Amino acid sequence: MHTNVGTEYVEFSSPLKLLGKVENYMQEVINSMKTSLRDVAGQSLIKLAKHGKEQWLTMDPAQTTLLINMLTWTKDVEQAFGAIKSDKEAMKKCHSH
């Protein structure tokens, strides 16, 4: 899959044959796109844990990076909210990394 601007590319997770009625194979294209993007996002989470945020930022397509960054930020903030009763500095610690 190519972006509209043509600078990023995401490969389908598995080959896709365009056979039969267009209505059927277009749905298969959509399903394959969703599966592929889910796979790329999962791999991106692994890369983030392995390489750290600074190196990870340039490893994946921008939309995937934005998604995973927002996902991890939300997880960190929710954990900080959960810890704030026992640790008044939880939010500051959350934003320090």
In whole angstroms, give the CA distance from residue 55 to residue 71: 18
The share of the chain scoring above pLDDT 70, in percent, equals 91
In whole angstroms, give the CA distance from residue 57 to residue 82: 27
In whole angstroms, give the CA distance from residue 46 to residue 80: 22
Q: Total structural domains in the chain? A: 1
Range of the domain at 88: 22-94
In a domain, 48, yes or no: yes
In whole angstroms, give the CA distance from residue 37 to residue 12: 8
Whether residue 27 is predicted with pLDDT greater than 60 in this model: the reply is yes
Name the pTM for this structure.
0.75
In a domain, 11, yes or no: no
Residue pLDDT, tens place only, 53-94: 999 999 998 889 999 999 999 998 998 888 888 988 888 887
Q: For residue 2, what pLDDT is reported?
A: 65
In a domain, 66, yes or no: yes
In whole angstroms, give the CA distance from residue 56 to residue 46: 10
In a domain, 67, yes or no: yes
